Amino acid sequence: MIDVVFVIMLFFMVMAGAVKVENELNTTLPGSTESSSATDFVDEIIITISEAGEVALNDEPFDSPESREMPRLRDTLLRLKQNADNAKTPAVVTIVSDPNAKYSRTVDVLDVLSLAKIETVTFSVSDE
């Protein structure tokens, strides 16, 4: 029994020397800094798709729910993409779809975005 206690004591003595001491980490907290140039914020384009298949761009309805090509939406997105390219900012689009909307309608909107060469697209589901 005493031998076991000595072995355990020896183990803890050896391990006490192997413990690494934690050093203080040099961190810098975020604060206010002054910038020499203006920060450009990107305008986000929001396309909503309702359950009935109606498509709206920034709450303005476009084309009929039966139209797969959506020419008005396409022309508007082409103009927005051209304006974004002229301003040297990315065209950011968020598609907000109703949970009960048909998937094919979302694909139609993606096709129109592809024709307009808009690549920065995110998806969201409406809470309503």
Over the chain, what is the mean pLDDT?
A: 84
Across 6-20, average pLDDT? 82
Across 31-48, average pLDDT? 72
What pLDDT was estimated at residue 37? 65
DSSP, collapsed to helix, strand or coil, labels residue 67 as coil
pLDDT digits (tens, 9 = 90+) for 51-62: 998 999 988 998
pLDDT digits (tens, 9 = 90+) for 68-114: 888 999 999 999 999 888 888 888 999 999 988 898 999 999 999 99
CB atoms within 10 A of CB 117: 12
- What phi and psi values does residue 81 have, to the nearest 5 degrees? -65, -40
- What phi and psi values does residue 85 have, to the nearest 5 degrees? -65, -40
CATH class of 44-125: alpha beta
